[in-house]
Amino acid sequence: MLIGIVGAPNKGKSTLFSAFTEAAVEIADYPFTTISPNRGTTYVTAQCVEKEKGLKCRPKNSRCIGGTRYIPISIIDVAGLVSGAHEGKGRGNQFLNDIASSDAIILVTDASGRTDPSGVPCTSCNPADDVRMVLSEMAEWLASSIRKGMKQIARNQNPGEALATYLSGFKITRQHVDAALKNLNMQIPKEGLSDGDTLSLAAELMRLSKPFIIAANKSDVPGSEANVEKLKAEYGSSEVIACSAAVELALRKARSKGIIRYDDGSDSFEMSSVGASEEQAAVLKTLSGILKRNGGTHVQEILNRVVFGLLDSIVVYPVEDENKWTDSNGNVLPDAILLKKGSTTMDLAMAVHTEIAKKMLYAVDGRTHARLAKNHILKDSDVVKIVSAAK
């Protein structure tokens, strides 16, 4: 799973990336700070099922802290997009390609309204303009690619299938193509689509294949509330999350130094015995006030909403001993696997190892001990043993 972070310049994308990954990347208030895309690993969180057994889990592919499972996913932060990026302006064309393999998008905008869509400082800009510009550039980018292959696609006996094959590198499937054409009440004629229809199709394909959440960043800045409401009015409350990447990054840095105890997504933190300098204590007091006022930074909520909401994922725990919920070495709940809702036990076997899937016989439910068929639909938090002839 790969999540892309996109947005206009100076919206806080690299700060958000650093908060997600706790990695040091270049952050500055000028366009194109990010030249090469930043790639890293971050974590979505889910309640671990360890309490059901009354045992402490021993994860191998993830982490578990205080009963919360931290499951790794990949994330990429690309350069700020400007108007005309699909034509190569601002290096945008190159970096639009970097998000081609993304499964979903976090679209970062400046909720404070203090930067325009080009990243230039202003006093009262509308962050919705940032969103419109970025979505337009992404649609134009995909449309330009479709136009290059339109003649060949349109001449195919099954143009929908040909288009899906042509766009497979963008993680666009036949299902995406069929749904887009149906939603637009459109067919691809032998002479190909007009430029306008191609752009409409590209926009719909982007919407279906690259679903997005709007991260209304810098929401700790006074006056940002009105801009957040503007975004929600235009794009829907469920599509917009007010957040503060800078506050989250500061808290995670303080935690890494042992100054505070802080759980990702919490609306408070505790001072540790390490002690803080007078200056650090003053900053932390300010951050504490922001957390209480805003109910947290909502940075972790963004990731969880993308993975479990937009991408409709569930968490499944494969085990080798269905009674003790352990692997062959006695590790309790060693792995937490993210799967698409509606996935089967065979899909789980494939996620564990292709050889195990090839020789899979059946599965066993870790709670009921019932035998499960290969096509059994899994549920969130299932604990499952895969029985396979593979060694």
**Residue 68 belongs to a domain:** no
Residue 25: pLDDT over 50 = no
Range of the domain at 100: 2-37+78-234
CATH number at residue 353: 3.10.20.30
171 three-class SS: coil
Q: What is the pLDDT of residue 177?
A: 97
**Residue 24 belongs to a domain:** yes
Report whether 384 contacts 316 (CB < 8 A).
Answer: yes
**Residue 9 belongs to a domain:** yes
CB atoms within 10 A of CB 218: 26
Are residues 12 and 159 located together in one domain of the fold? yes
Residue 38: pLDDT over 90 = no
Are residues 221 and 93 located together in one domain of the fold? yes
* Tens of pLDDT, residues 327-352: 999 999 999 999 999 999 999 999 99
Are residues 250 and 358 located together in one domain of the fold? no
Average pLDDT over residues 49-66: 92
Higher pLDDT, 24 or 151: 151
Q: What is the pLDDT of residue 88?
A: 63
Burial class (CB in 10 A: 0-12, 13-18, 19+), 30: exposed
**Residue 181 belongs to a domain:** yes
Q: What is the chain's length?
A: 391
Are residues 188 and 250 located together in one domain of the fold? no
Residue 179: pLDDT over 90 = yes
Residue 24: pLDDT over 50 = no
Bridge partners for 106 per DSSP = 5, 213
One-letter amino acid for residue 232 of the chain = K
Exposure b/e, 38-55, CB count within 10 A at least 16 = b = beeebbbbbebbbeebee
Angle, CA 342 vertex, CA 337 and CA 344 arms, to 5°: 65
Q: What phi and psi values does residue 156 have, to the nearest 5 degrees?
A: -70, 145
Report whether 63 contacts 46 (CB < 8 A).
Answer: no
Most confident segment among 71-80, 217-226, 229-238, 372-381? 372-381
Domain boundary (234, 258, 275) is at 234
Are residues 219 and 119 located together in one domain of the fold? yes
Query: How many whole angstroms separate alpha carbon 215 and alpha carbon 182?
Result: 30
Residue 34: pLDDT over 60 = no
- In 196-296 the beta strands, taken as DSSP E runs, fall at 212-217, 240-242, 260-261, 270-271
Are residues 325 and 179 located together in one domain of the fold? no
- In the chain the beta strands, taken as DSSP E runs, fall at 2-7, 38-47, 63-65, 68-77, 104-110, 212-217, 240-242, 260-261, 270-271, 313-319, 337-340, 360-365, 371-372, 383-388
Are residues 225 and 98 located together in one domain of the fold? yes
**Residue 342 belongs to a domain:** yes
Average pLDDT over residues 232-254: 94
Residue 269 is classified by DSSP as -
Q: What is the pLDDT of residue 22?
A: 81
Are residues 369 and 257 located together in one domain of the fold? no
Are residues 186 and 165 located together in one domain of the fold? yes
**Residue 115 belongs to a domain:** yes
Are residues 281 and 358 located together in one domain of the fold? no
Determine if the pTM surpasses 0.85.
yes
Are residues 22 and 82 located together in one domain of the fold? yes
**Residue 302 belongs to a domain:** no
Domain boundary (213, 234, 255) is at 234
Question: Element (H or E) spanning 98, and its range?
Answer: helix 92-98
Domain boundary (234, 265, 281) is at 234
Question: If we measure between CA atoms, which residue out of 285, 315, 244, 287 comes closest to residue 47?
Answer: 315
Are residues 195 and 173 located together in one domain of the fold? yes
Per the structure, the count of domains in the chain is 3
Q: What is the pLDDT of residue 381?
A: 97
Please state, rounded to an integer, the average pLDDT across all residues of the chain: 90
Average pLDDT over residues 76-105: 75
**Residue 46 belongs to a domain:** no
